[in-house]
DNA sequence: CGGCGGATGTTATAATGTTGCAAACATTGA
DNA sequence: TCAATGTTTGCAACATTATAACATCCGCCG
């Protein structure tokens, strides 16, 4: 599993990606689902980027691989990956990011830096409890929650006067 | 101001719309902004619907008015209305809804019924405090929050065995 | 009047996402 | 092995959502 304890910090991202792919293979195996080359490659491309990737960026990357891909190819792979909880869609960006807690049941909150676009997935029990409670107070049966916070990450925050990282 | 104390309940929605328009006029006046006929009509159309409306649905409604409208017309009106906090965009639906707390600074959470599509805007201090706290814990400067909860409203919830309302 | 700026009209195009069908491929069981 | 079956991919067309660029109109001020 990737290390959510080191947000926004430089780290051995190749290892991070490799781990995510290994996790994905094991999750798919457990569900008897086929992590085909295309699906695995899409997941890898998503993980290699710290910023959420759009479907058409993925498409371009696949074309770059020499692969013959059309929009449905990428959307189908993304559907599959979302279905097994391996990626999340960021609605405010029309883009996709690897799930940092794949395999675990979780409600996520995303911190999206509007400067460097780095996006951190957080599973906050405080927030999800507050949301659940609020929904219940309105007798609403919550099924899915989208929580996307846009702002500035520590590396891009003006008060620190540091270089934005990428 | 519309009455958020009566979510999902039948009510005098014409009065509700009239009030929202009156509020909008006063807010625009205070900001020296021009609530032109198109802008006001778009806001009215949005308010008349309990479900969030898509830009092209608004476009069709304007065409129905006999007005000669193209996409930029509607998107410009929506930009204006968003700028003055009169409508919100629901990212997960690519649609727009009237703000239930126009004029007040607020962070909103939306409860979206996947059955009847009715959408309730809630300003929960518990949730926003939890979000702020979580962001701060990651040294993230939060600027904007999108919180959209999809599920079933009381009228559509199966346990109540009632008719879904619309 | 004449210039200025904001608002709208108009056309075209970009960006994102879907449908439907056929070919290729994997899996299973005779 | 080989046909039967279901899944995945290729492919073409299309649908939906959003923006760019430029012309025109309209109210306002001097
Ligand atoms: Zn996740
Ligand atoms: Zn940043
Ligand atoms: Zn609001
Ligand atoms: Zn409902």
Task: Tell which of A7, A94, A130, A145 to mutate to test the B interface (max B CBs under 10 Å).
Answer: A130
Give the pLDDT score at B1. Answer: 42
Percentage helix, strand, coil, to 5, in chain A? 40, 20, 40
pLDDT digits (tens, 9 = 90+) for B70-123: 999 999 999 999 999 999 999 999 999 999 999 898 999 999 999 999 999 999
Give the pLDDT score at A8. Answer: 61
Query: Which residues in chain A have their CB less than 8 angstroms from residue B7's CB?
Result: 138
pLDDT digits (tens, 9 = 90+) for A30-87: 999 999 999 999 999 999 998 999 999 999 999 999 988 999 999 999 999 999 999 9
Average pLDDT over residues A78-106: 96
Average pLDDT over residues B152-163: 75
Q: Which nucleotide is nearest to A80 (CA to C1')?
A: D8
The average confidence (pLDDT) of chain A is: 91
**Is A56 part of the contact surface with chain B (CB cutoff 8 Å)?**
no
CB contact under 8 A, B146 and A148: yes
Q: Which residue is nearest to nucleotide C10 (CA to C1')?
A: B70
Task: Report which secondary-structure segment, H or E, holds A143.
Answer: strand A141-152
Q: Which residues on adjacent β-strands are paired with residue A80?
A: none
- Residue B8: which pLDDT band, with cuts at 50, 70 and 90? low
CA B72 to C1' C12, in angstroms, rounded, equals 12
In this complex, the residue of A114, A133, A141 whose CB is nearest that of residue B152 is A141
Edge-to-edge, what's the strand order for the sheet holding B141-152? A119-122, A109-113, A141-152, B141-152, B109-113, B119-122
Query: Which residues in chain A have their CB less than 8 angstroms from residue B143's CB?
Result: 114, 150-152
Sketch the domain layout of chain A as residue ranges: 13-152
Torsion over CA of B11, B12, B13 and B19, rounded to 10 degrees?
A: -120
CB contact under 8 A, B134 and A124: yes
Q: Is the CB of B35 under 7 A from strand C?
A: no
Q: Judge whether residue B6 has pLDDT over 50.
A: no
A13-152 domain in CATH 3.30.565.10?
no
**Is the Cβ–Cβ distance between B143 and B88 less than 8 Å?**
no
CB contact under 8 A, A134 and B127: yes
Give the pLDDT score at A1. Answer: 41
**Is A6 part of the contact surface with chain B (CB cutoff 8 Å)?**
no
pLDDT digits (tens, 9 = 90+) for A14-29: 999 999 999 999 999 9
The pLDDT > 70 percentage for chain A reads 90
Ligand nearest to the CA of B100: 3
pTM of the model: 0.90
**DSSP 3-state of B37:** helix
Give the pLDDT score at A159. Answer: 65
- Residue A164: which pLDDT band, with cuts at 50, 70 and 90? very low
């Amino acid at each position: 599993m990737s290390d959510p304890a080191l947000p926004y910090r430089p780290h051995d991202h190749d290892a991070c990606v490799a781990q995510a792919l290994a996790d994905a293979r094991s999750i798919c195996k457990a569900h008897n689902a086929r992590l085909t080359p295309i699906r695995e490659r899409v997941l890898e491309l998503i993980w290699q980027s710290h910023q959420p990737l759009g479907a058409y960026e993925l498409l371009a990357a696949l074309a770059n691989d020499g692969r013959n891909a059309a929009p449905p190819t990428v959307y189908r792979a993304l559907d599959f990956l979302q279905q097994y909880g391996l990626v999340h869609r960021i609605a405010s960006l029309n883009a996709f990011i690897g799930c940092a807690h794949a395999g675990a049941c979780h409600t996520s909150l995303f911190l999206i830096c509007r400067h460097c676009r780095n996006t951190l997935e957080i599973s906050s029990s405080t927030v999800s409890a507050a949301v659940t409670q609020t929904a219940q107070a309105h007798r609403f049966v919550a099924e899915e929650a989208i929580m996307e916070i846009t702002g500035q990450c520590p590396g891009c925050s003006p008060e620190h006067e540091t270089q934005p990282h990428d």
